[in-house]
């Protein structure tokens, strides 16, 4: 496990390889689809583990506000997970890099972190957003994730711990090298 403590903010940033649904943290981030209805990958795993209450709440959120655009985030309760809140963010679909994907991916991390702060959370766990079926290349996605989180931390002073939870070994190695480099 790579772990750094940022000197300016006093926040611990870690990377682990594992299952985000089994993690104990104040909040976890769900790489959701725009309808917030659950699906494949981490989104489906979070919905299955959280139970039917999550789908009901997500349907109510979508009915109230419409689809969640890429780069935005909304919050729900944690239900059967070991977290207080789930932050649902919609990552961009990779279209070659010339369609604003990097900005929207960075926005996912920033807005999730700020929303967690607004909700009074102290720890937040992120999956690897958009690198599954949305096809974002893993290395640039990891670079954007780490940069966006570090840049947003001063705006979220209540956050003391950020975890990047990687499902696969390749992402784990990428995040580990990014966090260990100066």
pLDDT in tens, 46-76: 999 999 999 999 999 999 999 999 999 999 9
Which residues form the domain of 106?
2-180
Other beta carbons within 10 angstroms of residue 108's beta carbon come to 27
Q: pLDDT per residue over 18-46, tens digit each?
A: 999 999 999 999 999 999 999 889 999 99
Provide the CATH number for the domain around residue 28.
Answer: 3.40.220.10
Amino acid 1: pLDDT: 53
Task: Confirm whether 26 is a catalytic residue.
Answer: no
First to last CA, the chain: 17
Q: Give the Cα separation of 164 and 174 in Å (integer).
A: 11
Q: What is the DSSP letter of 167?
A: S
pTM of the model: 0.94
What is the sign, positive or negative, of the torsion defined by CA atoms of 16, 158, 79, 67? negative
Tally of structural domains, the chain = 1
Q: pLDDT per residue over 152-181, tens digit each?
A: 999 999 999 999 999 999 999 999 999 987
Beta pairing partners, 85? 27, 77
Which of 19, 26, 43, 168 is an active site residue? 43
Amino acid 4: pLDDT: 54
Q: Give the Cα separation of 14 and 180 in Å (integer).
A: 10
């Amino acid at each position: 496990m790579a772990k750094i403590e940022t000197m300016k903010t006093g926040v611990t940033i870690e990377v682990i390889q594992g299952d985000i649904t089994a993690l104990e943290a104040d909040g976890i981030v769900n790489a959701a689809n725009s309808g917030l209805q659950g699906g494949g990958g981490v989104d489906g795993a979070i919905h299955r583990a959280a139970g039917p209450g999550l789908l009901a709440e997500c349907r109510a959120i979508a009915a109230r506000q419409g689809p969640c655009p890429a780069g935005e985030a909304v919050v729900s309760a944690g239900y059967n997970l070991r977290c207080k809140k789930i932050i649902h963010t919609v990552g961009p679909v990779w279209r070659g890099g010339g369609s604003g994907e990097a900005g929207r991916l960075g926005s996912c991390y920033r807005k999730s972190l700020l929303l967690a702060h607004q909700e009074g959370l102290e720890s937040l766990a992120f999956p690897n957003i958009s690198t599954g079926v949305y096809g974002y290349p893993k290395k640039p996605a990891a670079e954007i994730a780490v940069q966006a989180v570090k840049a947003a931390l001063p705006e979220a002073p209540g956050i003391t711990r950020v975890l990047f939870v990687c499902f696969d070994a390749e992402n784990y190695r990428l995040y580990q090298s990014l966090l260990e480099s100066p």
